[in-house]
Amino acid sequence: MPKVTVASNSKFDKNAPCIELLKQNGFEVSLTANDAFSQGLTGDDDVIEKLKESDAVIAYGEYYTSKVLDNLPNLKVIARLGVGFDKIDMQSATQNSVAVTITPNGNHQSVAEHAITLMMSLAKSIVKKDTLLRNGEWNGDNNRPIRGQTLGIVGLGRIGRSLATRARGMEMNIIASEPYPDMKFVDDNNIKLVEFDHLLSNSDFVSIHSPLNEETKGMFNKQKLSLMKKSAYLVNTARGGLIVEKDIIDILQNNMIAGAGLDVFEEEPTSHQNPLLKLDNVIVSPHMAGNDIQSQIDMGNEAAQSIIDLYNSKWPEGSIVNKEVKETWNW
């Protein structure tokens, strides 16, 4: 019987639909049920130990280094929850004939909703006003509108497109930077495609939805951040490594932009001593944008279905990251 491990935290539902789906299709399923493991805090040896008998894993926040992959000869599939795969050594995965899948349809709406939430909270000073009111100060000073403002979306993949449709409903003007745009979507939603620097200089809100890779790492550095309007807000629900953290701290401390809404950080979990957490022009959340209740169910089912398809020799084209592994891969 093929074995699947779910890299779950201690609160994971043991009767989750994805587990039932796997069991119904003949898989033996085990859960790590370990918060530190699912956050990638336990190290290579622990990952190897927990997955040494697994044929496939539904992965969360743990790291799949070359050492890990070289020492898991039974592993055939890493089914990553979400669309990020920056914690997986992709070259080593391919060399070890491990198929890596993502869940592109599972949480794009949740992430878009969270980006909107951060934008609204920043514009309306929700956190700041909440704190003032709880401390006895009735301060209803003017706040910023959303309607009529220019939203710059960096990356028009599924998440960026989901954000665009919601922003359009709020009567925002949308510009975007995207190397491979869906032109029908762009035209249908009256989106203006612009260069990255132009987007930064002309947006009232900048929302980041790019993947993290060698080309995009640190793309929001001090030089680029300095192009933003002093009145603009930056929102990041993608990956912390897209922003040079020391640079955004400097920009925010010196009020060179109005504020930021950050769901992700360079290192996660971030330290409670992180200077970003001390700034009153920053709203933060613990990398939760894609994790609403429905999205967790959808992502789990999508990851499980990719494993089932691969076991049955069906290649899930839309979910496979390292497509080149097909030449050497087998169950």
CB 114 within 8 A of CB 263: yes
The mean-pLDDT minimum among 10-14, 202-206, 217-221 falls in: 10-14
Say yes or no: 173 and 73 in one domain. no
Tokens of 3: 């074995």
Say yes or no: 102 and 113 in one domain. no
Rounded to whole angstroms, the Cα distance separating 273 from 279 reads 11
Amino acid (one-letter) located at 112: A
Sheet with 3-6, edge to edge strand ranges: 28-31, 3-6, 56-59, 77-80, 99-101
Query: Is 80 assigned a catalytic role?
Result: no
Say yes or no: 256 and 177 in one domain. yes
pLDDT at 250: 98
* Structural domain that includes position 187: 108-284
Say yes or no: 182 and 301 in one domain. no
Rounded to whole angstroms, the Cα distance separating 151 from 33 reads 40
Single out the catalytic residue among 113, 178, 239, 245.
239
Domain boundary among 249, 264, 284: 284
Say yes or no: 136 and 279 in one domain. yes
User: How many separate domains does the chain show?
Assistant: 2
Say yes or no: 137 and 158 in one domain. yes
Give the dihedral sign, CA 73/74/75/76.
Answer: positive
Tokens of 78: 């890493």
Name 3's bridge partners. 28
CB 306 within 8 A of CB 278: no
Residue 193: CATH number of its domain: 3.40.50.720
Among residues 108, 75, 104, the alpha carbon closest in space to that of 89 is found at: 75
pLDDT at 31: 94
Say yes or no: 100 and 123 in one domain. no
Query: Is 267 assigned a catalytic role?
Result: no
The per-residue pLDDT for range 238-254, each reduced to its tens digit, is 999 999 999 999 999 99
3-state secondary structure of 247: helix
Single out the catalytic residue among 144, 198, 266, 268.
268
Query: Is 239 assigned a catalytic role?
Result: yes
Single out the catalytic residue among 287, 302, 317, 324.
287
Predicted TM-score (pTM) of the model is 0.88
